[in-house]
Structure 1
């Protein structure tokens, strides 16, 4: 009896944990890098991934990306 009650409490908690992990992993999968371009030259100044970590401009431009113009 006690194990059945414990099992009924654990399964929803496990489901929520797995669902939370899945949502956060999918969010980072579909997030786009940001490329900042200079207004004067049009060249890439800085590129960051979805977490704000710096990356190379060439790597960021290979796929789809958000573009921002900076002065």
Structure 2
């Protein structure tokens, strides 16, 4: 009877360890997703900034050519 109880305890402990491993994997996946989204947002903002700078330069060039003529 005592042996059966100890086996059950060991099984429960093993199950708890497995759950901890699963939560760790989920956390790492979650962090990975967050990092990817941050990188995407940063790249999009950089692209937008570059595009706006190019547009501003084009507008300045157009204005200068118009004022010269």
**Higher helix proportion (structure 1 or 2):** 2
Could you state the TM-score of these two structures normalised by the residue count of structure 1?
Answer: 0.46
TM-score when normalising by structure 2: 0.47
- Relative contact order, CA 8 A, sep 6+: which one is greater? 1
Report which of the two structures shows the higher radius of gyration computed on alpha carbons: 2
Greater strand fraction, Structure 1 or Structure 2: 1
